[in-house]
Amino acid sequence: MSFKIIDAHMHVGPAAGRMVPDQSIEQLVHVMDKLGIEKGISANVYDLAGKERYEEGLAMDAKAYELSGGRIFSFSGFGTLHPEEGVASIRAHKDDPRVVGIKLHPAGGRSRADDEKYRPVWEVAKEVDKPIMSHTWAVSTYNPNQTYATADLFEKWVREYPEVTFVFGHCGGRYHGVKDAIAIGKKYKNAYFDITGDIFMNGFVEELVENIGADRIVYGSDYTMIEQRPMMGAVLGANISTLDKEKILYHTANRIYFKKED
């Protein structure tokens, strides 16, 4: 049994303390070929910690696109320290085929996801017709900054902007975050879920499929934070239909990020 696969949440760019020792594009492409990953979408490391170096990060991802033979695509970053620059960058890349979505990271930027400072990114996402994917996570004792990005904080925007496809990166993180995200997903059809990261809970994928449906779930790895196999294995080993696995691994991401139906 083989599947086409899109890794819809990865991080290209050098960073210390990651699981992947060789962070070169050549090695990434080698692993993608080995695992059958057709293409990936990168949120550059410059978008993660409030550094607001949008164009520099996108230039790095443009190099990754070139070196990968057109297989590594990009998210535009947005943070609240310099929102004007973020909006300008998103508009500048509106018609760039390499840039397929917008990435938020409220925990990294230490700015609550429901803060009005984020309204410009929702407005521009509607304007340029690009999905928003955001880091989401549960309240954490070891990382207090996660309180800025809990799933419930996004309901305001998902409700007010039904035209914008929103993706819960990491599905809300841990148990209670996942439950909160699912509750929002049941109310709003523009809410999607990526199963990126170290979400190692028995029945996690089955719970999402039962409550949300595989046509709103996408696979992602969180490379180079971790590597590609853990969450891929969670999908392949889940007690769901082959069609649902195909949707999660490929078709849903292909539809929302690349506007293609297969």
Please give the pLDDT value at position 15.
65
Q: How many residues does the chain have?
A: 262
pTM: 0.94
Rounded alpha-carbon distances, angstroms, from residue 189 to 102, 167, 237, 259: 19, 11, 27, 17
Please give the pLDDT value at position 77.
87
Q: One-letter amino acid identity for 211?
A: N
The structure tokens 């979400």 sit at 199
- Cα separation, 66 vs 73, in Å, equals 10
CATH superfamily ID and name for 5-258: Metal-dependent hydrolases (3.20.20.140)
Alpha-carbon radius of gyration of the chain: 17
In angstroms, how far is CA 195 from the centroid of its own chain? 9
Give the burial class of 262: count Cβ atoms within 10 A of its Cβ; 0-12 exposed, 13-18 middle, 19 or more buried.
exposed
Using one digit for the tens of pLDDT, what is the confidence trace for 73-82? 999 989 888 8
The tokens for 129 are 């017709």
Please give the pLDDT value at position 203.
93
- Cα separation, 44 vs 74, in Å, equals 8
- Single out the residue of 213, 223, 238, 214 nearest to residue 42, CA to CA: 223
Please give the pLDDT value at position 254.
98
33 pLDDT above the threshold of 70 = yes
- Single out the residue of 179, 105, 195 nearest to residue 146, CA to CA: 105
Decide: 223 and 197 in contact? Cβ < 8 Å: no
Q: What is the DSSP string of 101-116?
A: EEEE-HHHHT--TTSG
pLDDT-derived band at 50 (thresholds 50, 70, 90) equals very low
The tokens for 9 are 């949440």
The tokens for 33 are 């070929």
Q: One-letter amino acid identity for 53?
A: R
- Cα separation, 254 vs 262, in Å, equals 8
Using one digit for the tens of pLDDT, what is the confidence trace for 234-254? 999 999 999 999 999 999 999
Please give the pLDDT value at position 16.
55
CA-angle at 24, arms to 31 and 198, nearest 5°: 60
- Cα separation, 145 vs 143, in Å, equals 5
- Cα separation, 252 vs 11, in Å, equals 20
86 pLDDT above the threshold of 50 = yes
Decide: 191 and 158 in contact? Cβ < 8 Å: yes
